[in-house]
Amino acid sequence: MPSRPSTPRAAPHARGSNKAVFIDRDGVLCTDDQDRRGPSSMNIIHGARKALNGFDSMGLLRLVVTNQGGIALGSFTEEDMLSFTRRLWDLLGDDGPPWDAYYYCPYHDEGVIEPYIAESIDRKPGPGMLLRAALEHDVDIPSSFMIGDHLKDIMAGHRAGCRSILVTTGRGKRQIERIMEDRIRYGNEAYPDAIVENIGTAYELIREWGG
């Protein structure tokens, strides 16, 4: 199976001058079924706009890191995904950009669409997108945070070297069941540093933590 890391080699726990919050897209900023139904059907998750504005006011870089393996699987095209992203920008960006950078991984090792059939360190739980974003934006990873609705997000954050927060929106509730069923415990890379209701609550927590 070909591999497309598409990520510079970098040591985990890279120390930069900026703090950041790495944010999954589907299930965190918006519901995860719009790519199949079109941008006009988009639903924003409660608390997303408040959180993005809050992170900006705190001086945290807002870096979206999203798996988009549906491109490789033929569920939608890359242009479909980009159209959806532009719609998301319009809905979330009140007075300015809703995020500082946007990273996506179109690869999947079980894909059917060339040239996206590949394993990639960018595909979470791989930390590739986070490490690349940290390099490109001079991020201090140990002082940063990952927010996601899947254990893959939690693992990617921990592999990169930052604290990871699981939200119960999107697939989050099912992931809590997995934690219990699989007896995932503290110290396991899939065990979140916190579990909260949504990204708005994650913002409040990070503010309490002094992010």
Active site members = 24, 26
Query: Which residue in the block uniquely carries the two structure tokens 């900006």?
Result: 56
Q: How many angstroms separate the CA atoms of 193 and 101, rounded?
A: 24
Residue 163 · residue 193 · CB < 8 Å: yes
- Measured between alpha carbons, how far apart are the two ends of the chain, in Å? 40
For 115, other C-beta atoms within 10 Å of its C-beta total: 11
E strands along the chain, which residues? 20-23, 61-67, 101-105, 145-148, 163-167, 194-196
Which residues lie across from 165 on neighbouring strands? Answer: 147, 194
Residue 151 main-chain phi, psi, to 5 deg: -65, -25
What string of DSSP letters covers 133-163? HHHHHTB-GGG-EEEESSHHHHHHHHHHTSE
The one-letter code for the residue type at 122 is D
Which residues lie across from 3 on neighbouring strands? Answer: 119
For 61, the token pair is 């870089």
